[in-house]
Structure 1
Amino acid sequence: MVAASTVLGAAGEHYVMCQLLRRGLIAALAPVGVPNCDIVVTDDIGDRLCAVQVKTRVEKGSDGGWHMGKKHESIVSDRLFYAFLDFGKTLTDPPSCFLIPSALVADVLQRSYAVWLSTPGKKGQQRKDTDMRRFLPDFDKTGVHIGCGPNWLAPYKEAWNSLVSVSAADK
């Protein structure tokens, strides 16, 4: 049997591809094993090219965030975007997608993890360094104050045009 997280991830990738195709971009799944992108995007004549890494979740847990790794702190490219997709609690909930440049994701992950690591745990203990990171819609809720509180993701919600215009300056 296929793991639920694998199926959820595939659903997220196909949802993002659908949204890109609807906007006239050519989108295709990257080959299996490509480490830093799930979808390759171009226009109909191959002028605009970017990559998208999709992070998908359903409404579980209290922080509303997405799992990330330490490696995401250093993956930065002008043409790499993350699509943070939330499918909600039920199959009838409308999905929400946030399209964010990789440089911003790397910066937020670095800063939030440094603050988290430097603050004591629930019992006052020193936190242990780990490779796991969380990308959150509201870091303030968890006590990690880095200027990314409630609604900080609002400008990126359904920002599909950021991918459409990524290389408009090249023309």
Structure 2
Amino acid sequence: MTIVSNSTILGAAGEHYVMCQLLRRNMIAALAPAGVPNADIVVTDTIGDRMSAIQVKTRRDLGTDRGWHMKAKHELLVSPSLFYAFVDFGRELSDAPKCWLVPAPTVADVLKRSHAYWLATPGQKGQARRDSDFRRLLPDYSRTGIEIGCNEGWLNPYFEEWGPIRAASDV
């Protein structure tokens, strides 16, 4: 049985899933207060000297491109202590969640390059494309014709890779 999910509830589920994984790994983590613009979760060392932030992007396997919604602002977020957790809950409730933890500089670079490529190529009718705030982080850009070297498997090194978050927030 496939259920229809409200995006706000789905986003909260993704945040709680990532929190669960961090806490299971003995990392000190907490949900950021509502309204914090670039972080959903903060992770700190035992004395609060070092901190990293995580922005969670959550999806279900319902679209054709298997990507996550992003915005132009994500091209500018390049802090080495900011990470994105890209959560995929699959199609069915019985599907195991999957999570990729990608450093913000990598996400910014991929979004910039993919959007620039998309803007530089003509639309379906040969027209120039109009810029917008909308971006997509995809697990395989080759399916869209965007040639930036991020083909199927480019996200594999980040799959369930929690270590860099611990390193960024440990003394």
Question: What TM-score results when the alignment is normalised by the length of structure 2?
Answer: 0.94
Task: Report the 3-state secondary structure (helix = DSSP H, G, I; strand = E; otherwise coil) of the residue aligned with 2:14.
Answer: helix
Partner of 1:63: 65
Q: Identify which of 19, 22, 39 aligns with 2:21.
A: 19
- Superimposed CA distance per residue, residues 100-146 of structure 1 (whole angstroms, 9 cap, x where no aligned partner): 00001001000000000111112222111111000000011100010
Partner of 1:156: 158
Letter paired with 2:94: T
Task: Report the 3-state secondary structure (helix = DSSP H, G, I; strand = E; otherwise coil) of the residue aligned with 1:125.
Answer: coil
Hey, what's the Cα distance between the residues in 1 that align with 2:73 and 2:8?
Answer: 20
Partner of 1:123: 125
Partner of 2:46: 44
| Contact preservation (8 Å) 2:44, 2:169 | no
Hey, what's the Cα distance between the residues in 2 that align with 1:123 and 1:16?
Answer: 42
Q: CA deviation at 1:42?
A: 1.2
Aligned residue pairs: how many? 167
Gaps of at least 5 residues in structure 2 are none
| Contact preservation (8 Å) 1:51, 1:81 | yes
Q: Percent same amino acid among aligned pairs? A: 63
Partner of 1:165: 167
Is 1:76 paired with 2:78?
yes
Hey, what's the Cα distance between the residues in 1 that align with 2:17 and 2:118?
Answer: 32
Hey, what's the Cα distance between the residues in 2 that align with 1:11 and 1:141?
Answer: 28
After TM superposition, the runs of 4+ consecutive aligned structure 1 residues lying more than 6 A away are none
| Contact preservation (8 Å) 1:9, 1:56 | yes
Q: CA deviation at 1:45?
A: 2.9
Question: What TM-score results when the alignment is normalised by the length of structure 1?
Answer: 0.94
